[in-house]
Amino acid sequence: MPNNPEMRSQLQDLIETCNWWQLSPHLSRLVVVGLDLTLLDVGLALTEDNSALVQQWIADGGIYHPSAEQISYWQANPEITFTSLIIYPFVLFQELKPA
């Protein structure tokens, strides 16, 4: 995993909690981060241009664009919340696990 403590701290400060209606205007830039990964690790890999690691996550299904089924589900369930991190041009997001 990427390990740059200063950048990790900066990115941590940029993580926001949001809902689908806040994310949906950015649909073409959305990237789902699977629950086996963290927004911080993915964001750091992108900022460090670690394309090998990012490609591995894509191949493994750890990061991906949302499917039509997921989009419909999130639209129908507005109570679901997410965490998000913008690493231009991408908007990384992850569904929060219910407590």
Residue-by-residue DSSP string for 42-73: HHHHHHTT-HHHHHHHHHHTSEEPPPHHHHHH
- Evaluate whether 66 touches 72 at the Cβ level (below 8 Å): no
pLDDT bracket for residue 99 (50, 70, 90): low
Owning domain of residue 21: 5-95
- Tens of pLDDT, residue by residue over 33-86, are 999 999 999 999 999 999 999 999 999 999 999 999 999 999 999 999 999 999
Q: What does the DSSP 8-state code read for residue 26?
A: G
Rounded to two decimals, what is the model's pTM? Answer: 0.91
How many domains, the chain? 1
Q: Please report, for residues 56, 57, 82, 95, the alpha-carbon distance to residue 51 in angstroms, rounded to integers and kept in the order given.
A: 8, 10, 25, 24
Cβ–Cβ < 8 Å for 33, 82: no
